[in-house]
């Protein structure tokens, strides 16, 4: 209408178009019922929808003290539609299934309005619901099974729904699907009058419906298949075996020829169950290899362990075993890319453990322990093979966060090997190396360094240059990280090592993923957000693959991503990030428990997210919870506890509660100093914060000097324009000002704050800077004023 073309204000234009049509459709037949109208015993509250053959209202029934809400459907009085409506009512009354919205009551008003009251389902459309949970295919498939049951129930009562589509399925607050709108359903005997296609949804109508042919249960099967298809269950993250299996099920359900589809919804449901259990669906014939592949998928743990036991006890040659594995599971990239036999084994076990529930973990540990014992017993017969099998076990222990077991086994195997006459230098080097990793994880850095030295020695004896052994380089780097913290040269060497590992084609190990994650941390700390994101993207898939999507490692990657989003963040990004981390907290709270180390990690990220979002109160609460959990879990001497204590204390300072914060620092600082030495970045930051609090409360006369010293040391690690350096200068300047040393304060501001843009600072520090500048101005003008007044 807006254009100046010929159609603008065409004669009679107001009498055409959808609005005018609805004026007479609605007003000519049923007027929208007014709020408060009484229908049966129900009082109309609000129009909530218009269906193909009537309106649906929210209504409530008031029986004195008992009141409940219903969806009330009414229909205009047209003979054909009225019959259909009565039919629908009868049909629904016959069905009692949790997946089908129940009918409560029905009748006819004195002025001839037909109505029925059914359960009011308040929920979200299935497609939107699934979209929000993209990637969680298990949940969606389980949903489909419940839905199939509901449809099957209807079929056994001789009812075909005929209009199954996303808008007719709501997921209620408990996550249960509800099938609505049996408005056009007919009987299963298939003798419906053909040709009544007007109420169909073309995208979901089966070919026979579109053709106007009689409609049977096959049509519902078709629509369920279409639903399965459009829910797009198979995201990018779904494993290939799932994609293929599911595609076959969809193809069978939506076959254009009804007789080639599943014969019943029960059959379809059974096949969905098979997909869930990683069994071959019966939708088609699968080649034998596919059966085998899914078999190994299903029995990953027993299979891996059986193979391992086979190796260590029966002593089958490693090469042969590897061939067997490759043959059985070609598609598993891990095995294909593994460079040594031990790694093949380790990766197999890793895959088996990736998605384990805690109780299964206990079972797995018991099995691994037993296999370890068997390995040790057989060591005398076949030292080489047994050593490699032991290495696989040690690495597995390491991957599943059992460094103590890894250490014990490593030490016992090495001791046993020492009594052997053979050389086995390479095997020894590997054992020393893995033992060193285990020791490092247990915090015994000196013993780890000794093992590293022994590993180097063994390699040299075997005629191998240790510098060429990338695994050993990874260990060396880990040792330096442990000792020296985050110095720039460690970061540089890490990048070099990553490149070398890539060149050697070793970019698939969990160790590589860990390196990438560390690299992302480095880059994040350097404010290189794009670089950090790039590293994380690579680490993400790898970590999820090795350790499972809900593992500690994967969650750590995810948390760093959230921190990057927070740092980048506009308001919405921050909000999203907080929502994401809250979801993570729910997941972990449910799986690992509220007292677990994982949950403490999440609490800390929640705290950081809240702080970034300028919600310090929440931040401090989270840090406090995390600190309490870690204290109970590890005791005060653990570095994680110390780090949490420092976060909590820093947060308290931001809330001007230095008196609560100060007592937390000494113990935490002592733990970090003992573990990492004095040149550890978080340690320096903590000392700086401590001095800041002391200055604030005026409890330490030399707090300002302390801060000057800490700033200087911090300067050896970080560039002057780093956000933390500028923030430290602001604190220092404030401290000096508080002691009445305004000229020095001004100098610190001019030298270390003024030259750099505000953008390197967090919002809180930016505000603090404004305050500081105001105070500096006031301090500068005060003497002048005073002399003027004198």
CA–CA distances in Å: residue 551 to residues 358, 392, 595, 731: 11, 20, 16, 38
Taking the least distance from each CB to other proteins, the nearer of 163 and 434 is 163
Of 115 and 424, the one with the shorter C-beta distance to other proteins is: 115
Half-sphere exposure of 765 (CA within 13 A, CB side): 21
Residues 435, 439, 440: CA angle, nearest 5 degrees: 115
Q: For residue 168, state whether it binds other proteins (rule: CB under 8 A).
A: yes
Selection from 417, 416, 453 nearest residue 432 by Cα: 453
The end-to-end CA distance of the chain, in Å, is: 79
Q: Are strands 159-160 and 186-187 parallel, antiparallel or unpaired?
A: antiparallel
At a CB cut-off of 8 Å and minimum separation 6, what does 783 contact? none
For residue 51, state whether it binds other proteins (rule: CB under 8 A). Answer: yes
Q: Which helix (H) or strand (E) holds 118?
A: strand 114-119
The verdict on 1 binding other proteins (CB under 8 A) reads yes
CA 511, chain centre distance (Å): 21
Which of 56, 143, 414, 539 is in the footprint of other proteins by CB under 8 A?
56
Q: Is 50 in the site for other proteins (CB under 8 A)?
A: yes
Number of residues that bind other proteins (CB under 8 A): 44
If the CB atoms of residues 22 and 716 are measured against other proteins, the closer one turns out to be 22
Minimum CB distance to other proteins smaller for 185 or for 539:
185
Side-chain half-sphere CA neighbours of 703 within 13 A: 25
Q: Is 170 helix (H, G, I), strand (E, B) or coil?
A: strand
Q: 785 CB contacts (<8 Å, ≥6 apart)?
A: none
Residue 210 to residues 166, 186, 197, 205, 396, Cα–Cα distance (Å): 19, 16, 7, 6, 57
Is residue 10 close enough to count as binding other proteins by CB under 8 A?
A: yes
Please, where are the H alpha helices in 121-203? Answer: 126-132, 137-156
Shortest Å, Cβ 230 to other proteins: 12
Give counts: helices (H), strands (E), the chain: 34, 11
Tell me the closest approach of the beta carbon of residue 675 to other proteins, in angstroms.
54
DSSP string covering 345-372: HHHHHHHHHTT--HHHHHHHHHHHHHHH
The stretch near other proteins (CB under 8 A) out of 45-53, 378-386, 565-573, 721-729 is: 45-53
Interacting residue with other proteins among 37, 41, 43, 48 (CB under 8 A): 48
**Contact between 16 and other proteins per CB under 8 A:** yes
Q: Is 32 in the site for other proteins (CB under 8 A)?
A: yes
Between CA 472 and CA 7 the distance in angstroms is 79
- Shortest CA distance to 763 belongs to which of 734, 735, 723, 732? 723
Which CB, 57 or 424, lies closer to other proteins? Answer: 57
Say how far apart CA 147 and CA 155 lie, in whole Å. Answer: 12
Q: Is 28 in the site for other proteins (CB under 8 A)?
A: yes
Considering beta carbons, is residue 23 or 699 the nearer one to other proteins?
A: 23
For other proteins, give the closer residue by CB, 198 or 359: 198
For the bound state, the minimum distance from the C-beta of residue 131 to other proteins, rounded and expressed in Å, comes to 13
Shortest gap between Cβ of 149 and other proteins (angstroms)? 22
Confirm or reject binding of residue 180 to other proteins (CB under 8 A): yes
- Footprint of other proteins on 195-224 (CB under 8 A): 198, 201
Based on CB atoms, which residue is closest to other proteins, 12 or 570? 12
Instruction: Give the nearer residue to other proteins in terms of CB position, either 10 or 655.
Output: 10
Rounded to whole angstroms, the Cα distance separating 174 from 177 reads: 9
Region of 4-12, 275-283, 575-583, 617-625 interacting with other proteins (CB under 8 A): 4-12
Q: How far is the CB of 207 from other proteins (least distance, A)?
A: 20
Give the residue, chosen from 88, 149, 181, 434, that forms a contact with other proteins under the rule CB under 8 A: 181
Among 38, 47, 320, 720, binds other proteins (CB under 8 A): 47
Q: Please, are residues 488 and 459 in contact by the beta-carbon 8 Å criterion?
A: no
Site for other proteins in 96-135 (CB under 8 A): 124-125
Taking the complex as a whole, how short is the minimal distance between the CB of residue 222 and other proteins, in angstroms?
18
- Using CB under 8 A as the binding rule, whether residue 363 contacts other proteins is answered as no
Beta bridge partners of 107: 115
Task: Find the shortest distance in angstroms from Cβ 221 to other proteins.
Answer: 21
Taken in order 65, 71, 76, 81, the sign of the CA dihedral is negative
* Cβ-based nearer residue to other proteins, 13 or 358: 13
Edge-to-edge strands, sheet with 103-108: 38-39, 42-51, 54-63, 66-75, 114-119, 103-108
The SS3 call for residue 316 is coil
Nearer to other proteins, 166 or 372 (CB): 166
Task: Give the range of 28-36, 148-156, 722-730, 748-756 binding other proteins by CB under 8 A.
Answer: 28-36
Residue of 17, 212, 380, 593 that binds other proteins (CB under 8 A):
17
Residue 501 · residue 507 · CB < 8 Å: yes
Shorter beta-carbon distance to other proteins: residue 4 or 786: 4
Tell me which residues in 753-772 interact with other proteins (CB under 8 A).
none
CA distance 689 to 18: 68
Which residues are paired to 178 by β-bridges?
170
Q: Which is nearer to other proteins, 11 or 505 (CB)?
A: 11
**Which range of residues in 12-20, 105-113, 471-479, 615-623 is near other proteins by CB under 8 A?**
12-20
From the list 21-29, 252-260, 583-591, 613-621, the region that binds other proteins by CB under 8 A is 21-29
Quick check: 2 binds other proteins (CB under 8 A)?
yes
Q: Which of 37, 41, 43, 49 binds other proteins (CB under 8 A)?
A: 49
> Reading across the β-sheet that carries 177-179, which strands appear in turn?
123-125, 169-172, 177-179
Residue 647's H or E segment, with its range, is helix 639-654
Question: What is the contact mask toward other proteins in residues 67 to 96, using x (rule: CB under 8 A)?
Answer: -----------x------------------
Q: Which residues sit at the interface with other proteins, rule CB under 8 A?
A: 1-4, 8-25, 27-29, 32, 46-52, 56, 78, 124-125, 165, 167-168, 180-181, 198, 201
């Amino acid at each position: 209408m807006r254009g100046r073309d010929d159609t603008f204000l065409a004669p009679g234009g107001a009498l055409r178009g959808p609005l005018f049509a609805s004026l007479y459709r609605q007003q000519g037949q049923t007027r929208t019922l007014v709020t408060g109208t009484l229908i049966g015993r129900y009082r109309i509250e609000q129009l909530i929808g218009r269906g193909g053959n009537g309106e649906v209202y929210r209504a409530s029934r008031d029986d004195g003290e008992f009141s409940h809400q219903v969806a009330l459907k009414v229909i205009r009085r047209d003979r054909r539609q009225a019959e259909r409506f009565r039919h629908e009512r009868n049909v629904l009354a016959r069905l009692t299934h949790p997946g089908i919205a129940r009918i409560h009551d029905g009748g006819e008003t004195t002025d001839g309005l037909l109505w029925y009251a059914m359960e009011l389902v308040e929920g979200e459309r299935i497609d939107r619901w699934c979209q929000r949970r993209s990637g969680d295919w298990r949940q969606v498939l389980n949903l489909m099974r419940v839905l199939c049951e509901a449809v099957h129930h209807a079929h056994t009562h001789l009812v075909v729904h005929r209009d199954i589509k996303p808008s007719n399925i709501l997921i209620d607050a408990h996550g249960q699907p509800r099938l609505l709108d049996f408005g056009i359903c007919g009987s299963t005997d298939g003798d419906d009058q053909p040709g009544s296609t007007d109420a169909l949804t073309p995208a979901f109508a089966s070919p026979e419906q579109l053709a106007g042919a009689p409609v049977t249960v096959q049509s519902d099967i078709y629509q369920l298949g279409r639903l399965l298809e459009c829910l797009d269950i198979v995201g990018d993250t779904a494993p290939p075996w799932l994609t293929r299996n599911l595609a076959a099920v969809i193809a069978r359900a939506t076959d254009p020829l009804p007789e080639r589809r599943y014969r019943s919804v029960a059959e379809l449901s059974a096949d969905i169950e098979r997909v869930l259990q990683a069994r071959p669906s019966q939708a088609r014939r699968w080649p034998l290899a596919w059966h085998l592949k899914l078999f190994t998928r299903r029995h990953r743990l027993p299979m891996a362990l059986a193979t391992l036991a086979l190796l260590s006890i029966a002593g089958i040659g490693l090469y042969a075993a590897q061939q067997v594995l490759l043959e059985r599971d070609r598609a598993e990239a891990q095995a294909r890319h593994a460079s040594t036999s031990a790694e093949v084994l380790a990766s197999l076990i890793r895959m088996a453990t990736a998605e384990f529930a805690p109780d299964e973990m206990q079972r797995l540990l018991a099995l691994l322990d037993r296999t370890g014992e068997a390995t040790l017993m057989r060591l005398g017969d076949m030292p080489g093979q047994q050593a490699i099998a032991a290495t696989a076990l040690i690495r597995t222990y390491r991957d599943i966060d059992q460094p103590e077991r890894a250490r014990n086994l490593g030490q016992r195997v090495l001791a046993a090997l020492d009594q052997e006459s053979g050389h086995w230098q390479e095997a020894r080097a590997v054992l020393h190396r893995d033992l060193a990793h285990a020791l490092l994880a247990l915090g015994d850095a000196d013993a780890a360094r000794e093992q590293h030295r022994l590993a180097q020695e063994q390699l040299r004896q075997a005629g191998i240059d240790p510098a060429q052994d990338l695994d050993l380089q990874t260990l060396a780097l880990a040792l330096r990280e442990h000792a020296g913290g985050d110095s720039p040269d460690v970061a540089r060497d890490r990048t070099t090592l990553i490149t070398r590992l890539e060149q050697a084609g070793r970019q698939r190990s969990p160790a590589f993923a860990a390196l990438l994650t560390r690299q992302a941390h480095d880059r994040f700390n350097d404010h290189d957000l794009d670089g950090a994101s790039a590293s994380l993207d690579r680490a993400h898939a790898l970590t999820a693959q090795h350790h499972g999507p809900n593992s500690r490692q994967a969650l750590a990657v995810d948390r760093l991503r959230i921190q990057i989003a927070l740092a980048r963040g506009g308001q919405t990004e921050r909000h999203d990030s907080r929502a994401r981390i809250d979801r993570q907290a729910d997941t972990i709270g449910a799986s690992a428990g509220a007292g677990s180390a994982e949950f403490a990690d999440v609490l800390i990220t929640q705290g950081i997210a809240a702080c970034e979002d300028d919600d310090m109160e929440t931040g401090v609460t989270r840090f406090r919870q995390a600190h309490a959990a870690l204290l109970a879990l590890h005791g005060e001497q653990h570095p994680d506890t110390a780090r949490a204590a420092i976060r909590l204390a820093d947060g308290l300072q931001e809330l001007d509660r230095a008196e609560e914060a100060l007592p937390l620092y000494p113990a935490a600082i002592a733990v970090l100093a003992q573990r990492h030495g004095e040149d550890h970045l978080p340690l320096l930051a903590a000392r700086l914060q401590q001095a800041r609090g002391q200055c604030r409360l005026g409890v330490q006369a030399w707090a300002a000097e302390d801060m000057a010293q800490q700033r200087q040391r911090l300067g050896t690690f970080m560039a002057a324009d780093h956000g933390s350096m500028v923030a430290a200068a602001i604190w220092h300047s404030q401290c000096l000002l508080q002691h009445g040393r305004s000229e020095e304060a001004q100098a610190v501001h001019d030298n270390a704050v003024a030259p750099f843009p505000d953008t390197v600072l967090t919002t809180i520090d930016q505000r603090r800077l404004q305050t500081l500048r105001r105070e500096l101005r006031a301090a500068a003008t005060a003497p002048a004023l005073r002399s003027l007044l004198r």
